[in-house]
Amino acid sequence: MKFSASTLRLLSGAGIALLAGAILIAVGFFRHEVYITVDGSEPARHTVWGNTVSGALRSTDVRLSPEDRANPAPGTVLSEGMLIEVATAAPVEIEIGGGRLNLVSAERIPSNLIQEAGLQIFPGDEVWVDGVLVDPQVELVATRFLSLELRQANRVTLHRETGQQVLLGAGPTLAHALEQSGVALYASDVLVPGPTEYIVENLEVDHLPGTLVEIRQGADILHSRTAGSTVGLALASAGISLQGLDYSLPAEHEEIPDDGVIQVMRVSEEVLLEQELVGFMTEFQALTDVPIDTLQVVQAGEYGLQAQRIRVRVENGEEIARIVEDEWLVKEPVPRIEGYGTQITIQTLDTPHGTIEYWRAVEFYATSYSPANSGTPLDAPWYGQVFCGGNMQNGFVGVDLDYVPCGTPLYIPGYGFAVAMDTGAISGAWIDLGYLDKDYVPWHQFVTVYFLTPVPSADSIAWIIPPGNAR
């Protein structure tokens, strides 16, 4: 078959177009943008040629050994923007029960590594990496060498007074196994064998928990445990010491009480020196050269001084005792001496009732009364009678008989002549002027009372008459 020149030119152009299209399809099929991370590094973007993960890795010079691991798998077809994670294998050493197993693996999850080594993890087992307890299900950071320790749990039987408890502990020591099992161990607890004992299978342990005590110091409360049986040992376990006068309830040598409560009493004593004034007495002295009813100070009084040595005891901040150990008189008090006059001079006074002769004149407070207003019941046998004898009449007055004896003749201006014949609820310089009911005159005032001659004997005179008061 023959073709014309124009036909040949048409066929040649079509062939070139088909070839160019095929080349473009091939380029688009083998060329991809992907991200590759090796052993957890930051993902790097690469333009790669190929249609599988293994081809992409070869185009970036990443060579996988048989133990290395790629994700997605090496035969996976590439997609645009795919993330390829590469974990390179590293030597792994697993220590178990004193022996060692070695393998090379790209695995970083401890439980999977242990399974690759043909081992199993059971409840209570522990995985340690470089001396640190790790979660066997958590992926580790990639390293060039990985060392694991599988501590297998052993059966431990804990015997107590309240019964026994079976634990699974990975050790290495008994204390660690108890902590792993959530058993609280206090410094006061007693373990046989001791807490540093290495764990072996079917270990039998006697556990004697310390006694729980409550130690009270005033308002402070401390809870502690002790292995001792006495109060003193319990305090020592809690780091509390009794000093000087301190004591405890119960005492140190006594057994710990059933309720575990111990009271610590912090005691201090202080010796005080205290002084107080001592009052002075007042003495009276007769002065023969001074007129009667005149007082003057012969000697001023002075306070004395008394000293005491006092021991004060304080327990837990509260004073509980104050004891006087000694006392003495530092300075004697000096009495006050008041002199009273005893010099009597007879004098005269003109009055509406004539001239009177008197030996003493004293100001009294005067009131008045009569039988009807004296407060005595009408049917009383003594109604209308006076204390010194006889019936009331004008001129009889009531006084304090300690200072004005019965029968003393008196003169009271505005009242007249009078005789001390009665008494009542009055004292000192108070006079109650007596009247018959029909003659009664009320009095409430101060008045001068004149003591008329003759002068009584000195031993019957009250030389000092105090101010009047109602009793």
Extents of the domains making up the chain: 23-87, 90-151, 154-208, 211-265, 270-336, 344-470
- What is the pLDDT averaged over residues 61-75? 83
**Bigger pLDDT: 67 vs 78:** 78
178 neighbors 189 (Cβ within 8 angstroms): no
Is this model's pTM higher than 0.85 or not? no
Average pLDDT of span 40-60: 84
| Rounded mean pLDDT, 174-198 | 76
Q: What is the pLDDT of residue 63?
A: 81
- Same fold? 23-87, 90-151: yes
Share of the chain above pLDDT 70, in %: 92
Residue 83 to residues 41, 46, 125, Cα–Cα distance (Å): 12, 10, 36
Residue type, 259: D
pLDDT in tens, 360-376: 999 999 999 999 988 88
Q: What is the 3-state secondary structure (H, E, C) of the chain?
A: CCCCHHHHHHHHHHHHHHHHHHHHHHHHHHEEEEEEEECCCCCEEEEEECCEHHHHHHHCCCCCCCCCEEECCCCCECCCCCEEEEECCEEEEEEECCEEEEEEECCCCHHHHHHHCCCCCCCCCEEEECCEEECCCCCCCCCCCEEEEEECCEEEEEEECCEEEEEEECCCEHHHHHHHCCCCCCCCCEEECCCCCECCCCEEEEEECCEEEEEEECCEEEEEEECCCEHHHHHHHCCCCCCCCCEEECCCCCECCCCCEEEEECEEEEEEEEEEEECCCEEEEEEEEEECCCEEEEECCECEEEEEEEEEEEECCEEEEEEEEEEEEEECCECEEEEEEEECCCEEEEECCEEEEEEEEEEEEEEEECHHHCCCCCCCCCCCECCCCCECCCCEEECCCCCCCCCCEEEECCCEEEEEEECCCEECEEEEEECCHHHCCCCEEEEEEEEECCCCCHHHCCCCCCECEEC
Of the chain, the end-to-end C-alpha distance in Å amounts to 173
Closest by CA position to 256, among listed 297, 212, 292: 212
Distance, in Å, from the CA atom of 353 to the CA atom of 444, rounded to the nearest integer, reads 22
Whether residue 180 has pLDDT greater than 90: no
Predicted confidence (pLDDT) at residue 21 exceeds the cutoff of 50: no
- Residue pLDDT, tens place only, 94-115: 888 778 888 888 788 888 888 8
Least confident of 65-69, 289-293, 303-307: 65-69
pLDDT greater than 80 at residue 161: no
pLDDT at 27: 42
Per-residue pLDDT band for 184 (boundaries 50, 70, 90) equals confident
**Residue-averaged pLDDT of the chain:** 87
Task: Give me the mean pLDDT over the 371-383 stretch.
Answer: 89
Residue 88: its pLDDT value, please?
A: 83
Kindly indicate the confidence band of residue 201, based on its pLDDT and cuts at 50, 70 and 90: confident
Separation CA 403–CA 371 (nearest Å): 24
Q: What is the mean pLDDT of residues 256-276?
A: 95
Q: Is the pLDDT of residue 3 over 60?
A: no
Half-sphere exposure of 206 (CA within 13 A, CB side): 5
102-105: Cβ within 8 A, 24+ apart: 104/67, 105/67
Q: Which of 94-98, 136-140, 294-298 has the lowest mean pLDDT?
A: 94-98
State which CATH number among 2.60.40.1480, 2.40.40.10, 2.60.40.2480, 2.40.50.1070 fits the domain covering 344-470. 2.40.40.10
- pLDDT band for position 170 (cuts 50, 70, 90): low
The correct answer on CATH 3.30.360.10 for the domain covering 90-151 is no
What integer pLDDT is reported at residue 8 of this predicted model?
Answer: 43
Q: What is the CATH number of domain 270-336?
A: 2.20.230.10
Assign a CATH topology to domain 23-87.
Ubiquitin-like (UB roll) (3.10.20)
